[in-house]
Amino acid sequence: MQGVFITFEGGEGAGKSTQVRLLAERVRALGREVITTREPGGTEMAERIRALLVNGEPEALSSTAEALLNYAARDDHLRQVIRPALARGAVVISDRFHDSTRAYQAYAGNCPLTLVKALERDVLVDTWPQRTIILDIDPEQGLGRTRQRMGQQGRGAEAAEDRFERFGLAFHQKLRQAFLRIAQENPQRCVIISAARPVEEVAADVWAVVHPLLQPEDAGAA
Ligand code: TMP
The sign of the dihedral angle between the CA atoms of 177, 143, 93, 31 is negative
| Contact indicator for 73, 49 with CB cutoff of 8 Å | yes
Residue type at 3?
G
Ligand 1 pocket check for 41: Cβ under 6 Å: no
Q: At what angle do helices 199-210 and 16-28 cross, to 10 degrees?
A: 50
Q: Is 49 helix (H, G, I), strand (E, B) or coil?
A: helix
Q: Is the model's pLDDT at 156 over the cut of 90?
A: no
Ligand 1 pocket check for 37: Cβ under 6 Å: no
The CATH architecture annotation of domain 4-219 reads: 3-Layer(aba) Sandwich (3.40)
Q: What's the pLDDT at 222? A: 42
* Residue from 37, 38, 39, 167 whose mutation best tests the ligand 1 pocket (most atoms within 8 A of CB): 39
| Contact indicator for 109, 175 with CB cutoff of 8 Å | no
* Residue from 64, 75, 146, 164 whose mutation best tests the ligand 1 pocket (most atoms within 8 A of CB): 164
Q: Is the model's pLDDT at 220 over the cut of 50?
A: no
Q: What's the pLDDT at 148? A: 85
Q: What is the pTM of this model?
A: 0.95
Q: What are the pLDDT digits (tens) for 115-155?
A: 999 999 999 999 999 999 999 999 999 999 888 887 777 65
| Contact indicator for 184, 7 with CB cutoff of 8 Å | no
